[in-house]
Amino acid sequence: MSNNFFDNIEKKTNVKQEDIFKLAQSVSNANLKDEQTVRQLVAQVAKLANKPVSKEKEDQIVNAIINNNMPMDFGALSKMFGKK
């Protein structure tokens, strides 16, 4: 991928390219059917993004991932992650 892509991500999110690669590596090796593993990944993403995740939202995300119910279109994802 081009560095411009990662430069743009870093500018918009303040997340460094190497952190993105570390996260991608941990997700690619993760057992996404294991609740504890998924909770750790959610916490890792929240920390990287410097965004708090409520217990309720964490439970929703974990259940969706474990049960293979993650929406794949942007509109549905926005609703899932949107503020109440």
Q: Secondary structure of the chain: what % helix, strand, coil (to 5)?
A: 70, 0, 30
2 token code pair? 């081009």
Supply the pTM of this predicted model: 0.72
Q: What percent of the chain has pLDDT over 70?
A: 82
Q: Per-domain residue ranges for the chain?
A: 3-81
Which of 4, 28, 31, 38 lies closest to 46, judged by CA?
38
pLDDT in tens, 55-65: 999 999 999 88
- Check residue 84 and give its pLDDT: 45
Q: Which long-range contacts (CB under 8 A, 24 or more apart) does 7-13 make?
A: 13/49
Structure token digits, residue 22: 């570390």
